[in-house]
Amino acid sequence: MIGNRLEQSIIGLFQNDLSATYSINTLSKKLHKAYPYINKKVNFFIKEGILHKISVGRSYQCFLNMHSDKTKILLSINELNRQEQFLARNQDFAVIITELQHISPRIGIRLALVHEKTLILVLDDMTQKQHAAGLVSLLRTYHVEFLDKEHFGDYLLRNTALQKEHVILFNIHHHLAVMEDLQGQILINGPSALSASKKKIV
Does residue 18 carry a pLDDT above 50?
yes
Given the DSSP bridges, would you call strands 143-148 and 109-115 parallel, antiparallel or unpaired? unpaired
Distance separating alpha carbons of residues 32 and 38, to the nearest angstrom: 10
Q: Per-residue pLDDT for 161 more than 70?
A: yes
pLDDT at 75: 94
Rounded Cα distance between 18 and 164, Å, is 8
Domain of 144, in residue numbers: 90-170
Give yes or no: residues 10 and 58 share one domain. Answer: yes
Q: What is the DSSP letter of 117?
A: T
Residue 194 pLDDT > 50: no
Do the domain assignments include residue 150? yes
Contact between residue 51 and residue 65 where contact means Cβ atoms under 8 Å apart? yes
Average pLDDT over residues 185-193: 66
More confident residue, 187 or 32: 32
How many domains is the chain partitioned into structurally?
Answer: 2
> Is residue 172 pLDDT above 70, yes or no?
yes
- 61 and 32 housed in the same domain: yes
CB 79 within 8 A of CB 164: no
Burial 5-26 (b: 16+ CB within 10 A, else e): eebbebbbebbebbbbbbbbee
> What CATH number does residue 30 fall under?
1.10.10.10
Q: Please, what is the Cα angle at 173 between 74 and 50, to 5 degrees?
A: 30
Whole-structure pTM value: 0.85
Q: Residue 60: in which H helix or E strand, if any?
A: strand 59-64
| Residue 138 domain flag | yes
Helix (H, G, I), strand (E, B) or coil at 152: helix
Please check whether residues 141 and 114 belong to one and the same domain.
yes
Residues 156 and 101 in one domain: yes
* 120 occurs within a structural domain: yes
Band (pLDDT 50/70/90 cuts) for residue 197 is very low
Strands lying side by side in the sheet with 118-123: 143-148, 118-123, 109-115, 167-170
Q: In this predicted model, which residue has the larger pLDDT, 197 or 118?
A: 118
Instruction: Verify that 111 and 153 share a domain, yes or no.
Output: yes
In a domain, 177, yes or no: no
Angle among Cα 52, 67, 159 to the nearest 5 degrees reads 90
For 65-110, how does the pLDDT look when each residue is reduced to its tens digit (9 = 90+)?
Answer: 999 999 999 999 999 999 999 999 998 888 888 888 888 888 899 9
